[in-house]
Amino acid sequence: MKNIILKPIKHRNKNVVAIQFGYDDEIKDHLKKLDKILWSQTIKYFYIDLSLQNIRTVYDHLKLKNWTVDFSLLNEAIKNLKIERKRTSLIINQLPENYELELKKFKRWLFQKRLSENTVNTYIEVTTVFIKYALRKELDIYNTKTVETFNYSYIFKPNKSISYQNQFISGIKKFFEYKGFANGEIHLERPKKERKLPVVLSTYEIKSILNSITNLKHKTLLSLLYSAGLRIGEAINLQITDIDSKRMLIHIKQAKGKKDRYTLLSPAFVTILRLYYKAYKPTKYLFEGQKKEKYSNASAQRVLKIAVQKAGIKKNITLHSLRHSFATHLLEKGTDIRYIQELLGHSSPKTTMIYTHVTETSLKNIKNPFDDLF
C-alpha cells in the first residue's frame, strides 16, 4: 500500500501543501495530471497552494488509486481556512440599499469612462467587498486608513496574486475618484510585477492538440485562436459578418482598448470554417451555445484542457498560449515585429518584444561555450 502525507509548509513566502512520499514513479505520474501541482527543486516535494479546494482536489485525486493519504498535519490549517471562509462569507452577504444604489451609480460612471465590461465588473466586485468589510468593522469607508487596513488584512496578508492586488488598488482608486477624492490622497503601494515569459507551444504540439479533437466546433474554435492570434474574448465576440474571405482577413471590432483591427484569415482555416458553418449554421455569432447565445469562455477553457490531456502535453497552458504561439512562430519565420504588433493589437511595441525572448530561432543561433570543450 502506498502512503502519502499532506502537510502545510511555507515555500517562497507562500502557504502551500507539500505532498510527501517515498520515491515512486506511479505517484509522480498521477500527481502530474493535476494542473496546479508544482515540483520544487529546493524542498524536493510536489506542492500546491494552500486552500480548502486544493486540499480536497489533491485528496480526491490520490484516493482514486485507493492509496493511504494522511492529512492529519493539515487539521489546524483546515480549521483556520474554514474560519477565514466563514469570515469572508459574512463580508460578501448583504449590503444596505443605499450602498447598492451607490454601486449602481459607480458602475454607470465607470462605463462612461469607456472601460471594458470585464474591467467594470472587476472594479465593482472589489469595491463591494471593501465596503462590506468597512461596514462590518464599523469603519469610515472614505478614510484612507480603512483602505490600508483592508489592503493588509485581505489582500497582502493572504498573499493574493499580483494581478488581484493590482485590480483591488485600481478599483478602489477609481471609487475614490468617483467620490471626488484626489488620487494622491490614497497611498497604496503596488506590488512589483512579475516578469514571466509566455508559455509557447511548438508547431508539433499545436498539431497534436488539434488532431486530438473530434468535435468540429471545438476544433474550429482552437484553430481560429491559433491561426489568427486572437484573445478568447475576441473569438467568442466574432460575428459571421466579421469574416472577410475575399480579402482573407478577419475584422476584430472594439477589442482591448476599444480598438478595431484586422488579422489574418488562414486559407487552411477557411476549409475547416466552411465545414463548421455547414454543420452548425450559426445565425449571428460565429460560435454559439446551445440556445444560440455567445459561446462561453468557460466552455472554451474546458475544450482546451481535454484536448491537451488527450495530446499528452504536460505544459501548463491556457487559451492565451495559442495566441503566444502564433506570435512566436511568426517571428521565427522572419515576420517583421511591427506587423506582429498590428496583428495582435498591441498598443506598444514593448509588449510584442517579449516574444523575442522565447523564439527558438534566436536561441539556436547562440553558440554554447560548453560545446567548445569537446
Which residue numbers are catalytic? 231, 256, 320, 323, 346, 355
| One-letter-per-residue 3-state SS of 316-334 | CCCHHHHHHHHHHHHHHCC
C-beta neighbour count of 354 within 10 angstroms:
16
Helix (H, G, I), strand (E, B), or coil: what is residue 357? Answer: helix
- Give the up-direction half-sphere exposure of residue 84: CA atoms within 13 A in the CB hemisphere: 14
Which among 7, 4, 23 is positioned nearest to 15, based on CA atoms? 7
Beta-carbon contacts of residue 185 (< 8 Å; ≥ 6 apart): 144, 176
Q: Which residue has the cell 483602505?
A: 147
Phi, psi for 255 (deg, rounded to 5): -80, -160
Q: In whole angstroms, give the CA distance from residue 268 to residue 281.
A: 20
Here the cell at position 297 is: 469562455
Reduced DSSP (H G I as helix, E B as strand, rest coil) percent helix, strand, coil of the chain, to 5:
55, 10, 35
Which among 303, 116, 317 is positioned nearest to 224, based on CA atoms? 303
Which among 103, 121, 134, 99 is positioned nearest to 170, based on CA atoms? 121
Provide the residue type at 179 as one letter.
K
Rg of the chain on CA atoms, in Å: 24
CA–chain centroid gap for 247, Å, is 33
